[in-house]
Each structure stands twice: as C-alpha cells, then as structure tokens.
Amino acid sequence: MTPTPADIDTATDADLPGILELQAAHQIARGGMLSAEFPRLKIEQMMRTLPLVVARREGRVVGFLMAAERDMVAAPPVLRAMFAAYAGAPDAYVYGPICVDAAERGQGLAAAMFSKLRALQPGGEGVLFIRRDNEASLRAHRRMGMREVAGFELDGIGFAVFSYVG
Ligand SMILES: CC(C)(COP(=O)(O)OP(=O)(O)OC[C@H]1O[C@@H](n2cnc3c(N)ncnc32)[C@H](O)[C@@H]1OP(=O)(O)O)[C@@H](O)C(=O)NCCC(=O)NCCS
C-alpha cells in the first residue's frame, strides 16, 4: 500500500509542541545533527515574520523548516561566523534549522518543505550553514540547487555556507 503523502503546510501554534519535540530530539548533545535549539518564544517570533514550514503525517509533525530575519538570530557564534564568512545581501534571511524525523528521511521531505518556503517567500536571498560531516544534509541541499558560497571553521568543526535566491 502506498503511504499517504505528508502534508506540507505553514505551521500554526498547534504545531509548536511537535516542532519543539523534534528539535530537542535531534540536538548534537543527543546524537543528532542540529547545532541550535530555539526556545518556544523565539520560534513564535520567527513564525510571525517569516514562514515556518512543517511536514505533518496524520496530524503529527514529522518535519520542520525554520527561517528567520538575520537580526533576529544574529547572536549565536555559529551564525556570526557564517555571516563573517559570507555577508550575503543586506536583507538576506537565515534558512534553517531544518529537520525531518528519522523514520521519514530519504523521501524528499526536505525539498518539499523548501519548495513551500520558496513559494511563500519568493525573491529574497536565503543563507545557511551545514556541517561538513553532515553528508545527508549536504546532498539534500545540493540537490535543491543551492550554491556553496563559503566555508568556515568553529571550535575545530568545518562548515559550508550555502545560498539561494527564492
Ligand atoms: C538533512 C535532512 C533534513 C534531509 O531530509 P530528507 O527529507 O531526508 O532529505 P532527502 O530525502 O533529500 O535525503 C537526503 C539524503 O539523506 C540520506 N538518506 C536517505 N535515506 C535516509 C534515511 N532513511 N536515513 C538517513 N539518511 C537518509 C541520503 O544521503 C540522501 O541523499 P541521496 O538520496 O542522494 O542518497 C534530514 O536528514 C535530517 O533531518 N537530518 C537531521 C537534522 C539535520 O541534519 N538537519 C540539517 C542541518 S544543516
């Protein structure tokens, strides 16, 4: 039987618990690949200014893609290092973090969420970083047509900087 396709949608407040759960489960400290963990209040601010996209299966959040204005998230050292390596357009926004539930990977959900973000936010430049040891993410984002524009190192970890125009 073909599984029901996931719904790709703009997040509502009802999705926040699921987003927070997925975000917490995939932190580096817990063996995941996410370098940042935003508190609920910050995510609420972000989703009021730029689209927050989710993938849901039977109502459960199985993926999210955040986006934020650079001034809103400029404090973490990794984002400061990213913009030092690549300034981007003055109004460029930050793409990410993106996360797909482990059981849902390899089916193009990341690309589907990116298409939705682009449709909702056409024209502007998005900038993101990816750890060089995150092969799955590098593959997914290269396949989406994003361009590697710079690299940097922080605390001995190598990162690639990618950019795209929506
Ligand atoms: C990176 C991530 C968002 C990609 O999402 P996705 O929807 O699985 O993306 P894709 O379907 O395009 O698959 C991308 C790559 O994942 C790998 N992959 C495929 N199936 C997989 C699975 N079941 N489990 C893990 N990785 C898998 C493959 O390398 C695939 O590339 P390929 O098809 O060229 O072989 C997802 O792996 C994820 O959430 N990872 C943990 C958090 C993270 O790293 N976020 C990004 C930080 S920059």
Give, rounded to a whole angstrom, the gap between the first and last alpha carbons of the chain.
35
> For residue 102, is it within any domain?
yes
- Cα 44 → chain centroid: 15
> For residue 106, is it within any domain?
yes
> For residue 94, is it within any domain?
yes
Give the per-residue pLDDT at 2.
Answer: 58
Helix orientation angle between 135-143 and 109-120, rounded to the nearest 10 degrees = 50
Cα 66 from Cα 54, distance rounded (Å): 9
Cα(44) to ligand 1 centroid in Å equals 26
> For residue 80, is it within any domain?
yes
State what percent of residues in the chain have pLDDT above 90.
89
The order of strands in the sheet holding 125-131 is: 7-10, 53-57, 60-69, 93-100, 125-131, 157-165, 147-154
CATH assignment at residue 114: 3.40.630.30
Q: Ligand 1 — pocket residues by CB below 6 A? A: 26, 32-34, 96-100, 105-111, 130, 134-137, 139-140, 143
Give the per-residue pLDDT at 1.
Answer: 53
pLDDT per position as a tens digit, 40-94:
999 999 999 999 999 999 999 999 999 999 988 878 899 999 999 999 999 999 9
Cα(26) to ligand 1 centroid in Å equals 13
**Mean confidence (pLDDT) of the chain:** 95
> For residue 155, is it within any domain?
no
**In ligand 1, which atom is closest to the CA atom of 102?**
24
Range of the domain at 78: 7-122
Is the pTM higher than 0.85? The answer reads yes
> For residue 85, is it within any domain?
yes
Tally of domains in the chain:
1
> For residue 15, is it within any domain?
yes
> For residue 157, is it within any domain?
no
**Of 38, 26, 31, nearest to 68 (Cα)?**
38
